[in-house]
Amino acid sequence: MYAKEIRKMTDEQILDAIEDQKEALFNLRFQEASGQLEDVNALKRTRRDIARLKTILRERQLAAQRVSEEGKK
């Protein structure tokens, strides 16, 4: 998942995507523990996707906070 794609998403869609990725990460970890995981890079990609989603969501929160603080001045 690219940052450009994530930036086009709404906050609700990002939160849903985070939950989906967390579930996928859980399943990948389970497969790894049982020795059934074929694509070991999937764990790394999924962790990075979660981080990317959370980063963009936090950027939006900080931007909204800055706007509200500027409005109070």
Domain ranges of the chain: 11-72
Question: Which tens digits make up the pLDDT trace of 32-67?
Answer: 999 999 999 999 999 999 999 999 999 999 999 999
pLDDT for 52 equals 98
Please say whether the beta carbons of 46 and 18 come within 8 A. no
Distance of alpha carbon 36 from alpha carbon 60, whole angstroms: 38
The pTM (predicted TM-score) of the whole model is 0.90
Distance of alpha carbon 52 from alpha carbon 35, whole angstroms: 28
CATH number (3.40.50.1100, 2.102.10.10, 1.10.510.10, 1.10.287.310) of 11-72 reads 1.10.287.310
> At residue 46, what is the residue type?
T
Answer yes or no: is pLDDT of 73 > 70. Answer: no
